[in-house]
């Protein structure tokens, strides 16, 4: 068994556990579970409507052939992997599905999935590609339509107070996650990147209160730690969605310290609180649309669109960036050359890892990463 197989196996066990757990929670609470992909449709609204939001995860490296009867072989392997899982019936605990119009692949998955495997509830949350004032208005209206559709499904009306309570509960988790991230500003960091990602994966699949408890436990334990091993190059990971710690583990094995990231499920989701504005939709629009840093949203030409990353790199005292692109991931692959050049000018090297959502072959990945660590 290669080391990476070991890493993926750890990720896989956690994923299996999270699915068993959600079945238990669902049975106990009697609430419907609504799966979602991407971060534009707020899970808070799902929660406030009396359902349990569940971030759907793939199983990297697993056979995707079950998807072949419905979609072409060319396309994001992460999305194909999730469709294969749905086809195999592995996601049968879902009562509903919410897909946001993020990238092409995810958006089109919606049609195929709901056509062949309809669920009791499904909604495609439409999202403009720019943050112009009229696009913001559209997003706000879309929030309203989304809320209505959920209320209709669950029979549970959402009043502003209960939505505010839910947002507060989620914001608490955001601040705890940020506290955890801050422990990595130390050198060497007090928490490993792979540990945090494991936790965040749990966070996507747990009701917020349960996640709060987990986070508190981890924080208390981590704060008591003395230094974690020796110093090593401080790495930020940027790129496609990451719902398995395999790559982070390989970086760590190669001597790197993953101290920051810009990925989905990672910091993109937890970086800021949802502002509790008088009209809650205004805050939600700000958080989930205007400020949400996904390269699928057009922020105009120029490298200014990467400034937030540079700022983060400075804040976490980064030595180098590892870019992670899943095959056929247009939004990230298009940004790579511009980002690489921008970071290079700032003295930050960027190593690109192209992956077909398997993190294999782990051996050569590790060798490349080792060479990169030595170089920086």
Residues within the interface to ligand SF4 (CB under 6 A): 76, 78-79, 103, 105-106, 240-241, 326, 329, 331-332
Query: What is the layout of strands, in order, in the sheet containing 96-100?
Result: 52-55, 33-37, 96-100, 121-125
Residues that bind other proteins (CB under 8 A): 68-72, 74-75, 101, 103-105, 107-108, 110-112, 114-115, 122, 124, 126, 128-130, 132-135, 137-138, 141-142, 145, 295-296, 298, 300-303, 325, 327-328, 330-331, 333-338, 340-341, 352, 354
236 contacts which partner out of other proteins, ligand SF4, none, CB within 5 to 8 A by kind? Answer: none
* HSE, side-chain direction, 13 A CA sphere, residue 112: 19
Q: How far is the CB of 295 from ligand SF4 (least distance, A)?
A: 8
240 contacts which partner out of ligand SF4, other proteins, none, CB within 5 to 8 A by kind? Answer: ligand SF4
Return d(Cα 208, Cα 46) in angstroms, integer.
12
CB closer to ligand SF4, 37 vs 280: 37
CB closer to ligand SF4, 283 vs 295: 295
CB closer to other proteins, 249 vs 350: 350
334 contacts which partner out of other proteins, ligand SF4, none, CB within 5 to 8 A by kind? Answer: other proteins
120 contacts which partner out of ligand SF4, other proteins, none, CB within 5 to 8 A by kind? Answer: none
Distances (CA, A) of 211 to 31, 160, 201, 218: 17, 23, 10, 11
H or E, element range at 166: helix 160-182
CB closer to ligand SF4, 66 vs 215: 66
Q: How far is the CB of 106 from ligand SF4 (least distance, A)?
A: 5
CB closer to other proteins, 89 vs 134: 134
Q: How far is the CB of 107 from ligand SF4 (least distance, A)?
A: 9
49-79 as b/e: b if 16+ CB within 10 A: bbbbbbbbbbbbbbebebbeebbeeebbbbb
Q: How far is the CB of 340 from other proteins (least distance, A)?
A: 6
Return d(Cα 121, Cα 98) in angstroms, integer.
8
Phi and psi angles of residue 349, each rounded to the nearest 5 degrees, phi first: -75, 150
CB closer to other proteins, 315 vs 341: 341
Q: Which two tokens stand for residue 283?
A: 């805050």
Q: Which two tokens stand for residue 33?
A: 């579970």
SS3 286: helix
Q: How far is the CB of 142 from other proteins (least distance, A)?
A: 8
355-371 as b/e: b if 16+ CB within 10 A: bbbbbbebeebbebbbe
89 contacts which partner out of ligand SF4, other proteins, none, CB within 5 to 8 A by kind? Answer: none
Phi and psi angles of residue 345, each rounded to the nearest 5 degrees, phi first: -60, -30
CB closer to ligand SF4, 277 vs 327: 327
DSSP string, 140-166: HHHHHHHHHHHHHHH--PPPHHHHHHH
């Amino acid at each position: 068994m290669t080391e990476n197989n070991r890493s993926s196996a750890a990720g896989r066990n956690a994923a299996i556990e999270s699915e068993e757990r959600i079945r238990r929670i669902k049975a106990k609470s009697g609430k419907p579970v609504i799966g979602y992909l991407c971060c534009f449709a707020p899970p808070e609204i799902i929660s406030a409507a009396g359902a349990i939001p569940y971030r759907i995860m793939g199983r990297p490296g697993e056979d995707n052939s079950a998807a072949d009867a419905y979609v072409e072989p060319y396309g994001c392997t992460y999305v194909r992997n999730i469709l294969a899982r749905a086809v195999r019936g592995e996601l049968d605990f879902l009562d509903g599905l919410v897909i946001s119009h993020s990238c092409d692949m995810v958006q089109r998955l919606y049609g195929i999935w709901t056509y062949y495997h309809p669920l009791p509830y499904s909604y495609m949350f439409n999202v403009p590609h720019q943050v112009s004032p009229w696009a913001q208005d559209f997003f706000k209206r879309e929030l309203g339509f989304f809320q209505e559709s959920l209320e209709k499904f669950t029979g549970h009306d959402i009043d502003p107070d209960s939505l505010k309570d839910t947002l507060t509960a989620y914001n608490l988790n955001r601040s705890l996650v940020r506290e955890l991230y801050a422990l990595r500003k130390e050198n060497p960091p007090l928490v490993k990147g792979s540990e945090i990602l494991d936790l965040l994966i749990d966070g996507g699949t747990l009701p917020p209160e349960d996640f709060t408890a987990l986070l508190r436990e981890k924080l208390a334990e981590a704060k008591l730690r003395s230094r974690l091993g020796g110093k090593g190059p401080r790495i930020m990971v940027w790129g496609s969605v990451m719902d398995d710690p395999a790559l982070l583990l390989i970086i760590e094995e190669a001597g790197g310290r993953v101290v920051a990231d810009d990925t989905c499920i990672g910091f993109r989701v937890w970086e800021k609180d949802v502002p509790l504005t008088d009209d809650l939709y205004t805050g939600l629009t700000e958080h989930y649309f205007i400020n949400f840093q996904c390269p699928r949203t057009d922020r105009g030409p120029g490298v200014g669109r990467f400034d937030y990353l540079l700022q983060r790199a400075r804040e976490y005292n980064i030595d180098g960036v590892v870019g992670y692109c899943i095959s056929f991931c247009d939004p990230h692959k298009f940004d790579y050359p511009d980002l690489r050049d921008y970071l290079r000018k700032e003295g930050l090297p960027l190593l690109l890892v192209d992956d077909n959502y398997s993190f294999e072959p782990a051996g050569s990945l590790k060798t490349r990463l080792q060479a990169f660590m030595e170089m920086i």
